[in-house]
């Protein structure tokens, strides 16, 4: 819905206080329909609960409550069908809903809809409900991405590639072990999002503009009807703070940072010079000029969205810092950043799930790369340590062998056996360790030894199954 303020100046609902209408530019600045639209269904739901509360307080009759609820139900149906007639002169969703109800039931009864509440509390109620639902959907999407990566790790077999530090080859690891690193990152992301949603799950309804409603609203009853786990404990805090949005977008920024690392790795791996991976056609593009090009655009755009979400987080932090209590109109802009971050993350998680489900890995290229980089140096050093050589001395001696191999233009593993035996007499001529032995040596919890990786796969499968069934 692209709502723009192009109609005549509004007849403001606070018109009794003002003698002239608002400036057209000021209306365009204050209007928030294009930001608020995703929250509209929650706004109507909250209004229907409020009508029930007004009935409980004896402020409207049974018939009047039914008329108000019917009008709100009509608005809900129109919103769902996309036929609701938005009126930009009513600057936000609250005033649009109220205007539509008033038009349906008349000004006297319609004028009761706002009794005992403020837009300050309404928007926070709507935001929290929307955010809780959106977070649940995002956590489910993250779990689905984890499951996809676990599936790929489970089918990777004994594929080995070089692990890197400082973008330099370090040690050989199983591809499955490498992929499971991202599963662990995503597990923490899902946990952070769930934690943020738990703290957001408090109803501010009944907080009024700042001091609390002047009507004897049963806030606990309203919270239960709205699906909240509880109520906020301070009316000023309830309308003034947006830490639930900041915290959620912070968790999303970390999530997108992890997706960006995975995406960046796939961009690197898909270059012909590396050749570890090939993105499916569905997630690649060509060039408008160069017929030879195959570009990993989906992965690149995920990286870009990570930067955009970081910007959303900065916007939120900048908006809320330094604001004296309580509500300020500045807070209107928090919704735009919050919704953009959630929408971006849902899209990026979906894209990366498709990328990971379809990417083709080249195990032969990976293994050849793992054979280089003097990747067995640490295992030789540790074998010396097992024979009583202090590690720093072993490190120095193996380093000299690496330099010797580099001078000869070969890998450490290609040094003649007699040279290695002469340099490392403690090993009694033991053969240069194989790549498989180098991988198996990391036999600790969390290590890349095949048995440890198999155990890790089983553990994460069990964990994900429990999360899905919870």
Which residues have C-beta within 8 Å of that of residue 27, sequence separation ≥ 6? 5, 9, 10, 89, 91
Angle at 260 between CA 254 and CA 261, to 5 degrees: 95
Residue 52 CA to residue 68 CA, distance in Å, equals 10
Q: Which two tokens stand for residue 375?
A: 């990747």
Cα distance between residue 189 and residue 138, in whole Å: 10
**Cα–Cα distance measured from residue 403 to residue 226, given in angstroms and rounded to the nearest whole number:** 69
Judged by DSSP in three states, 277 sits in strand
CA atoms of 118 and 327, how far apart (whole Å)? 11
User: Measured between alpha carbons, how far is 417 from 103 in angstroms, rounded to an integer?
Assistant: 92
Helix axes 119-154, 450-469, angle to 10 degrees: 140
Name the DSSP class of 6. Answer: -
CA distance 419 to 298: 49
CA distance 252 to 255: 5
Looking at residue 283, the DSSP 8-state letter turns out to be: G
Active site residues: 166, 287
Q: Is 65 left (phi over 0), alpha (psi -120 to 50) or beta?
A: alpha
Residue by residue, DSSP assigns 143-175 as HHHHHHHHHHHHT-TT-EEEEEETTEEEEEEEH
Q: Which residues, at least 6 apart from 60, have a Cβ–Cβ distance to it below 8 Å?
A: 51, 54, 68, 109, 112
């Amino acid at each position: 819905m692209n709502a723009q303020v192009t109609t005549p100046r509004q007849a403001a609902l606070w018109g009794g206080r003002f003698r002239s209408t608002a400036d057209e530019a000021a209306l365009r600045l204050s209007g928030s329909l294009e930001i608020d639209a995703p929250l509209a269904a929650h706004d109507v739901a909250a209004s229907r609960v409020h009508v029930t509360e007004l009935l409980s307080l004896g402020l409207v009759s049974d018939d009047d409550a039914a008329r108000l609820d019917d009008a709100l139900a009509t608005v809900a149906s129109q919103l769902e069908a996309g036929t609701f007639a938005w009126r930009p002169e009513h600057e936000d969703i609250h005033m649009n809903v109220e205007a539509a109800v008033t038009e349906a039931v008349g000004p006297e009864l319609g004028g009761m809809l706002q009794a005992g509440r403020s837009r300050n509390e309404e928007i926070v109620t709507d935001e929290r409900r929307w955010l809780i639902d959106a977070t649940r959907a995002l956590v489910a999407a993250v779990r689905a991405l984890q499951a996809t990566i676990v599936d790929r790790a489970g089918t990777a077999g004994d594929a080995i590639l070089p692990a890197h530090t400082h973008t330099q080859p370090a040690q050989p690891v199983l591809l499955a072990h490498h992929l499971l690193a991202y599963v662990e990152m995503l597990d923490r992301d899902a946990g952070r999002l769930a934690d943020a949603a738990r703290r957001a799950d408090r109803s501010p309804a009944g907080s009024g503009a700042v001091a609390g409603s002047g009507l004897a609203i049963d806030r606990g009853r309203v919270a239960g009807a709205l699906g909240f786990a509880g109520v906020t404990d301070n009316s000023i805090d309830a309308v003034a703070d947006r830490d639930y949005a900041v915290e959620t977008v912070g968790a999303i920024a970390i999530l997108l940072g992890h997706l960006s690392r995975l995406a960046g790795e796939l961009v690197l791996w898909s270059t012909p010079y590396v050749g570890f991976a090939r993105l499916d056609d569905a997630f690649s593009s060509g060039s408008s000029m160069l017929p030879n090009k195959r570009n990993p655009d989906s992965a690149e755009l995920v990286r870009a969205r990570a930067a955009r979400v970081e910007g959303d987080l900065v916007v939120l932090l900048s908006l809320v810092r330094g604001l004296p209590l309580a509500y300020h109109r500045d807070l209107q802009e928090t919704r735009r950043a919050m919704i953009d971050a959630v929408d971006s993350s849902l899209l990026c998680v979906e894209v990366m799930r498709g990328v990971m489900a379809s990417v083709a890995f080249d195990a032969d290229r990976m293994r050849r790369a793992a054979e280089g980089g003097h990747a067995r140096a640490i295992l030789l050093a540790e074998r010396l340590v097992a024979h009583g050589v202090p590690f720093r001395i072993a490190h120095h001696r193996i380093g000299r062998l690496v330099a010797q191999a580099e001078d000869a233009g070969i890998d450490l593993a290609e040094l003649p056996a007699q040279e290695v035996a002469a340099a490392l007499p403690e090993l009694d001529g033991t053969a240069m360790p194989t790549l498989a032995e180098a991988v198996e040596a990391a036999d600790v919890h969390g290590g890349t030894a095949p048995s440890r990786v198999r155990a890790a796969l089983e553990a994460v499968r069990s964990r994900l199954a429990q999360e899905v069934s919870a």
